[in-house]
Structure 1
Amino acid sequence: MLKFIPIVAISMSAFLAAGAAANAQSGAASGQVLSGDAAFGDWSKDAPGVTRHFTVDDLPKPGATPSASNSAHGVPLPDGLTPKVPDGFKVELVAQGIKNPRAIRFAPNGDLFVANSAANEVRVYRIAEGSAKPTEEGVFATDKLNQPYGIAFYPPGDNPEWVYVANADGLVRFPYKSGDLKAGGAPEVILEGIPPNHHWTRDVVFSPDGKTLYFSVGSGSNVAEDMAPEPEGGVEAWAKDHALGATWGSEERRADVLAFDPDGKNERVFATGLRNCSGMTLQPQTNALWCVVNERDALGDNLPFDYATSVKEGAFYGWPWYYIGDHEDPRLAGKRPDLKGQVTVPDVLFAAHSAPLNIAFYEGDQFPAEYKGNAFVAMHGSWNRAPRGGYKVVRLLFDADGKPTGEYQDFMTGFVISNDEVWGRPVGVAVAKDGSLFVSEDGSGTIWRVSYGK
């Protein structure tokens, strides 16, 4: 789903004109709640406070619009520009010039770890509470890293002994003690042999008790183009011996969340049919595992919805045969009638081709009280939609019991300059010990801090 055209120059006149138009749109749009057709929109209608709510009934028919090819033209971060956030919030630049900052995680001691994926390194920044400026930084690790992405600390708690790093082709861990700016020793390979092609963004999360390691693996294609028509012995026999909705051939162990013991042993399939679960986290209130998922391409501008969802053990989320419940992909019509009625519908539906990449729940005390228990999602944007969408950070709304309302609200916007030009593509979100929110984006290679109040 993700394509990006290299950075080009931007004229100041074009930037100022786009900014004026965006400001006008923002003033008109802020505070609106959009549903149905009005919720689809595009970047020009994005603004902090705009809320959208999609339901299954809002899905258009396949081919309702042509399948677009609309890659973003990258431009440098304009001088003096900062992303837009709601009134009362402040945005500060933390770091820039990073080659490819992707997933970000805070260590228990408050150090910020950054997967610099294209450089095959993990960086670390020491940032004092209440500040955006690093006091120290370093390259934590480079050895045995191959497009590193997800990062997790083990065991869970205040004194981890290992930093786990998810590679495109597996998982490694580095010895660690609190405060290390460089790994305490050589990496240990935990998993290997994961196919690295196509969707390569792997994430890693531990259960609260530390006994289970969750590892997400995206699909090897858009919609199982290279998967053999039938597994050896036939589909019926395969289904009896494998997890519900499990794929085979080139897609075996893909579009899944896999589970392991912390040492990489005792592999099992936790959930299937998740085309590209590129970001995972635990919901603190419930301890439920959550994923954000990039759905498939080439069915039209608004189909199917991307989504965020709690991930239930043994559940099947549709890929490649179905999407958003029992909606059959027309390209695979009639291939798996046995799965109809067994597809789990996701919890929060996003506009198609938003490309959500990471999710973080907010449990801090700095932001207004209504933010507590909500979640932030970074949307990277996609090439497969004619009206440009995504390219922002949104807030998922939850009720007091920790249940999602289905609504999501624009929180951090302003990464798009015009219909053709984009300076920033959000990837990582993480909450600091002081309750501020940190955001990485890999268009201009920057990291930002969002704080509230003085």
Structure 2
Amino acid sequence: MRMLATMALTVAAAAAATAQEPVRTGSAAFGDWRSDAPGVRRLITPADLPPPDATASAANPPARVARSPATTPKAPLGFAVDLLASGLSAPRVVRTAPNGDVFVAESGTGRVLVLRVDGTTPAPAAPHVFAAGLPLVFGVAFAPPGPDPRWVYVATERSVVRFAYRSGDLAASGPAEAVVRDLPRGGFHWTRDLAFSADGRTLFVSVGSATNDAEGAARPSAAEVAAAPLGASFGEDRDRADVLAFDPDGKGRRVYATGLRNCSGLAVQPDGGAVWCVVNERDGLGDNLPPDFATRVEDGAFYGWPWFYIGAHEDPSHAGARPDLAGRIAMPDVLLQPHSAPLGIAFYPGGQFPADYRGDAFVALHGSWNRARRTGYKVVRLIMKDGRPTGEYEDFLTGFVASDSGVWGRPVGVAATRDGALLVTDDEGGAIWRVRWRGR
């Protein structure tokens, strides 16, 4: 008993020390999985970026290892983590319906599942199949926003469809209705996320690039540039690396923002209605370049890809190609360690976690493959102040990496439950984790 008490005090002291340590900045902000721990904060700025190819680019994909039943992700002191669901096939986007039901895009099977979660039992009953036959399913959204949505929108690589919905439905009551039929397909990035504006009048759809860095793309003509939105891509990436906007019925298509290599996760901030993206940046420029990022996405803004990155840093592969864009690039709000691969974002509405979490955002980092020392494989918290990003982010859920070579889990989606817990999907482990506040 004495040994157990000593261990408990040691763990508590370590957690407290982590929470009180200064924000890691400069070169100290670029670590790897061994330096990750709940409470560690980082701040990366444009001034911290190394030159291109300061290190060689590594091909370092993770090996999958089995998770032992006793192994769970690590959360900050005061939080409990439990396994909500397992045995799923690549669960990715997760969304909570206003009535508390949890909708999950099971990308491996092309299904949307529903879990009835009451917040008191360790795990819900077996998931219900809401809809099937949705290849490469990813984004899920309810419309109109508010307490009584009438539709569930679902995105696949090629299309957006919707299903009629009444609160509490565990299966679609009718066939899918096509809303958008012709999203670009093929290439590097197939994920298509969805979000609605706060007033419900605009449907946002993210479309990633077909290539890593627009390799081999011909330079557009002056006429093409003049006719296209600011920073629009051409060739194989035409109509890609952007966020599109539609009316709820799929009409009124327009380009909302460009230069976003792969905005895998979309969210609308509850306070103020800003549209947010988490973006996977390009590979091939070295271990610590360029940062991935999370950012508010402005209407008509250009974020750099492929000609520039993080402001007016010119990509050496496209040197001199678009000098007209150099002074017209929007700067992202929060820079994340390069190659972390952010895939999901959700704002925390409050209700269970300590008060200072309210209004902050959680981002799921799927993890690196293009870095010699593994990074990502965790969920981080974006620190806000008065509803605005500070640029700092904090490790919240770690422990998915088993060794330098192996991982047992890779976070993808994040969502708050109606009672204020946090859900995290893990497509590598086929699981959904629930993080609850239990108090110190």
Answer whether TM exceeds 0.5 for this pair: yes
1:284 match: 270
Matched residue type, 1:188: E
2:160 aligned to 154, 171, 174, which one? 171
Name whichever of 188-197 and 62-71 sits farther off.
188-197
Q: Which runs of 5+ in 2 are unaligned?
A: 1-10
1:86 and 2:64 are equivalent in the alignment? no
1:49 and 2:39 are equivalent in the alignment? yes
1:144-188 CA-to-partner distances (Å, cap 9, x unmatched) read x12010100111111111110110111111111111111110001
Say if 1:26 and 1:46, in contact at 8 Å, map to a contact too.
Answer: no
2:279 aligned to 281, 290, 293, which one? 293
Matched residue type, 1:287: G
2:151 match: 162
Matched residue type, 1:413: T
1:180 match: 169
1:308 and 2:298 are equivalent in the alignment? no
2:417 match: 432
Give 1:190 deviation, angstroms: 1.1
CA distance, structure 2, for counterparts of residue 28 and residue 333 of structure 1: 46
2:116 aligned to 106, 126, 134, which one? 126
Q: Helix, strand or coil: the match of 1:190?
A: strand
CA distance, structure 2, for counterparts of residue 134 and residue 178 of structure 1: 18
Matched residue type, 2:410: R
Give 1:135 deviation, angstroms: 3.4
Say if 1:166 and 1:204, in contact at 8 Å, map to a contact too.
Answer: yes
Q: Which runs of 5+ in 1 are unaligned?
A: 1-21
Give 1:25 deviation, angstroms: 9.1
CA distance, structure 2, for counterparts of residue 339 and residue 408 of structure 1: 29
1:252 and 2:241 are equivalent in the alignment? no
Give 1:132 deviation, angstroms: 3.9
1:14 match: none
TM-score (norm. length: structure 2): 0.94
Query: Compared with structure 1, are the counterparts of its residues 40 and 26 closer, same or farther at alpha carbon in structure 2 (3 Å cutoff)?
Result: farther
Say if 1:146 and 1:169, in contact at 8 Å, map to a contact too.
Answer: no
Matched residue type, 2:162: R
Say if 2:294 and 2:333, in contact at 8 Å, map to a contact too.
Answer: yes
Give 1:360 deviation, angstroms: 0.5
Alignment RMSD: 1.6
1:140 match: 130
1:172-214 CA-to-partner distances (Å, cap 9, x unmatched) read 1111111111111000111122222220111011111111110
Q: Helix, strand or coil: the match of 1:118?
A: coil
Give 1:28 deviation, angstroms: 7.0
Matched residue type, 2:295: T
Say if 1:379 and 1:425, in contact at 8 Å, map to a contact too.
Answer: yes
1:381 and 2:370 are equivalent in the alignment? no
Give 1:293 deviation, angstroms: 0.2
Give 1:29 deviation, angstroms: 5.0
Query: Compared with structure 1, are the counterparts of its residues 96 and 304 closer, same or farther at alpha carbon in structure 2 (3 Å cutoff)?
Result: same
Percent of residue pairs bearing the same amino acid type? 57
Matched residue type, 1:42: D
Say if 1:99 and 1:116, in contact at 8 Å, map to a contact too.
Answer: yes
1:190 match: 179
Matched residue type, 1:282: V
**TM alignment of 1:254-403, pairs within 5 A:** 254-399=240-385, 401-403=386-388
Name whichever of 186-195 and 340-349 sits farther off.
186-195
